[in-house]
Amino acid sequence: MKVLIVERSRLQQTVLSRIFSGEGGIVSLAHNYENALQRLAEEKFDIVCTAWQLEQHNNGIELARAIRKIPEYLEIPILLIASTGKNLSTHDAYNAGITEIFDRGSYEHLSNKIQSLLKRRVCTINAHILYIEDSKTAAALTMRDLKEANVTFDHYYSADAAYMAYKENHEDYDMVITDVVLEGQLDGLGFVRAMREITPENYKMPVLAVSGLDDTSRRVELLRSGANDYIVKPYVKEELLVRVKNLIMTKHLFNQVETQQEQLYKQAMQDHLTGLHNRHAMETFLPKLCSAAIRHKKPIGILFFDIDHFKEVNDEHGHVIGDDVLALMGDIILKNFRAEDFSARYGGEEFIVVLYDTSYEQTKTIAEKFRQKIEDTNFSDLNITISIGVLGTFVQYDTDIHELFNLADSLLYEAKESGRNKICSRDLTLLNVETIN
Ligand code: GH3
Ligand code: MG
Ligand code: MG
Ligand code: MG
């Protein structure tokens, strides 16, 4: 980035040069108005940083006014360094084309401000864009400008063809840029409306509409139809880059928030040690499972189980081994039950599994097979067994699921009392099947 510093004072020249070089700028110096304009004519600069006070007749504001008259310097930032307390009219400064005014008072402040300004100007976008434009010239210019910022394109001349491509591959794109006036069945607005409806996810795809006509009603209509932003042709490169960058950054931030929310949700619902749902998740998911069972008149099965003599595992082998056993138990549960079933760590070494659309007999068979599986599994050379309380039932809208768990718990207690490593079961399906039908 080439920077022209316009400054009389040697000391200030050194200070400013240091700041800009520190940020990777290639610095040239000019000491007055004439000298600055001469330097700007000799080579193209990316930033001009000028002192307000230059000489008697011409100051930094006059210089800005002169620079803005040169077509190739319409968009570059012109920074004005002024001392506070002097009667500088900021209004005049901005009108003359100054981009930002800095106080020369504090070196550190100035350095920070310039640093963040330069950071904002580094424009690498790294995005893949679906681009619809029927004018070859407009397309060539836009793509040239954006390619410099690392953007890649799929370019279509018609919205109809673009729609087909988008429908197939919308996951590939970071954003859409579309011309508004287009031949074919779909114009730009039609395309935006249609693409938004492919899946709900597509409401998040940023769309920049490009229009050759700039009137208020058209702009409002564009935004109403689902475009996130618009730009009027012919546009300057800087404005295009900034709008594209902003849209893509907003999308990235949105995605980040979504991922964080998913993680938080997972953390709130998941037991860390076993990877199973925790008790909190039961309150969310079990009512759903029960409602489905009621609607479809399906029986459910409940397995309530507890590791036998787990205290001895901890006492003899330590808590870490105890934790390993619990984690492996979590893996086995996750692998052995279906996605439509619900499983959770109920407490310390107690687990619950609710089987959807499973008769009492099936539930008993599944419970017995599971008990056997645990007995047969090698838990780091430990013999681990479980006792299970088993229930089969139909649920109704007024069923209290916690009462069912209490009942399953008392069956588990029975299994423990009568020797452990076994199941104890009860069939409630016959009891409440009449009220169901
Ligand atoms: P029973 O066959 O009657 O169930 O005997 P038990 O020893 O398994 O039952 P008890 O309720 O006496 O002991 C449960 C043990 O589980 C005690 C507790 O330290 C241990 N425990 C609970 N949560 C964890 C955990 O997260 N990690 C480990 N390592 N141990 C746990
Ligand atoms: Mg067009
Ligand atoms: Mg136990
Ligand atoms: Mg217990």
| Both tokens assigned to 261 | 């929310």
- Residue in 81, 46, 91, 90 with CA at minimum distance from that of residue 67: 46
Catalytic hit among 262, 349, 368, 414: 349
CATH architecture of residue range(s) 279-436: 2-Layer Sandwich (3.30)
CA distance to 15, 33, 60, per residue, from 92 (Å): 26, 18, 11
Q: Indicate if ligand 1 lies below 6 Å from the C-beta of 416.
A: yes
**Cβ 415 under 6 angstroms from ligand 1:** no
3-state secondary structure 332-381: HHHHHCCCCCEEEEEECCEEEEEECCCCHHHHHHHHHHHHHHHHHCCECC
What does the pLDDT look like over 36-79, one tens digit per residue?
A: 999 999 999 999 999 998 887 889 999 999 999 998 898 889 99
Q: Is the pLDDT of residue 436 over 50?
A: no
Q: Is 238 a catalytic residue?
A: no
C-alpha pair distances (Å), 333 with each of 123, 382, 431: 50, 18, 29
Domain with CATH 3.40.50.2300 in the chain: 2-121, 128-257
Least Cα distance to 155 among 180, 123, 128, 195 occurs for: 128
Tokens for 51? 């002192």
- The pocket of ion ligand 2, defined by CB under 5 A, consists of 134, 179, 181
Q: Which residues of 400-411 are buried (b: 16+ CB within 10 A; e: fewer)?
A: ebeebbebbbeb
- CA 311 to centroid of ligand 3, rounded, Å: 7
- Tokens for 37, please give them: 């304009």
**CATH 3.30.70.270 domain locations along the chain:** 279-436
Q: Which of 307, 311, 420, 422 to mutate to test the pocket of ligand 1 (most atoms within 8 A of CB)?
A: 311
For 273-292, the pLDDT digits (tens) are: 999 999 999 988 999 999 99
CATH of domain 2-121: 3.40.50.2300
Q: What is the pTM of this model?
A: 0.58
75-120 tens-digit pLDDT = 889 999 988 767 888 899 999 999 988 888 777 877 887 777 777 6
Q: Give the pLDDT of residue 115.
A: 79
Is the CB of 271 within 6 Å of ligand 1? no
Q: What is the pLDDT of residues 370-421, one digit of tens each?
A: 999 999 999 988 999 999 999 999 999 888 888 999 999 999 999 999 999 9
Q: Please choose from 274, 304, 308, 310 the residue to mutate so as to test ligand 1's pocket, defined by most ligand atoms within 8 A of CB.
A: 310
Structure token digits, residue 115:
């640093």
User: Using CA positions, which residue lies closest to atom 24 of ligand 1?
Assistant: 348
Atom of ligand 1 nearest to the CA of 321: 29
CATH superfamily of 128-257: Response regulator (3.40.50.2300)
Ligand 1 atom 30: residue of nearest CA: 322
Return the closest-CA partner of residue 198 out of 217, 170, 159, 161. 170
Class of residue 218 by CB neighbours under 10 A (exposed 0-12, middle 13-18, buried 19+) = middle
155-191 pLDDT, tens digit each: 999 999 999 999 999 999 999 999 998 988 999 999 9
| Nearest atom (ligand 1) to Cα of 273 | 26
Residue nearest to atom 14 of ligand 1 (CA): 311
Distance CA 309, CA 95 (A): 83
